[in-house]
A and B are shown apart, each in its own frame.
Chain A
């Protein structure tokens, strides 16, 4: 299956790109996808997930054609 990934705010800086298509992937959760994408990187930040513009937990099972957004939590003020 194929999904489109979008990186938002400082996640974009960490990944060095704002979007990418992931092809030929198995059915996995959005949390597993994040771990796969960052497995060779030293990234230790909290990330949040949205699929098709809806906030989801890391256990959300991805489907073919999904649009995934990774974004950071923000609590400052």
Chain B
């Protein structure tokens, strides 16, 4: 992974007009996304005037009901789609296309079904042109990190949903990205597996020291994991409020009963309730 250290230390963008603190990694200003035609009745405003600055190493939860544009925002940060207006910078440079410095974990895992767990994790390393032996080694250590040792040679259809998502997390970490983008990664899992994986991701993100953007509609999950919860509201999607989480990291299970945690989750639920009801 030493090969990637160059990506970790951001080259201070020479002569960039925006004066910004060096530790701002993702800079989103007045971002808008419009789908559909040009007339006002056919077009849908998915995002409107989104402003968000994300520091290096920060864990951000994007929280909101369905239709609030949080997944759209993630897709734009990933480079899968482009914004209709506004600016989006990574280390001072505009994001124009997908890049291994920003890898994505999908809700439906999106594992390559024809590859073993090992081959899936190696995919991004192979893309870099890394030698076979080296990438096998790195993949094995990542598989160990997500606790899948012993399942390297299994195919995705042979393992459980939780294991698939662990494999997908290892695959996303393999290219040693600066930023990990997670799109409702635990949405398809049962409640118990979800809680276990939340604790895993709390551990892994502290260990790996990545910037994480975590899209979710689970309030407790958002608060449990994040340094900062960015609450979004729908139609049009925009940032409604931000909650900074003072709990220390790594997060552990007992923090769920912390008075601050409990009251914050309740407060968020009370403020979000009307919107959730509207969305139903």
Do A and B interact with each other, yes or no?
no
Which residue numbers of B lie inside 8 Å of A, CB to CB?
Answer: none
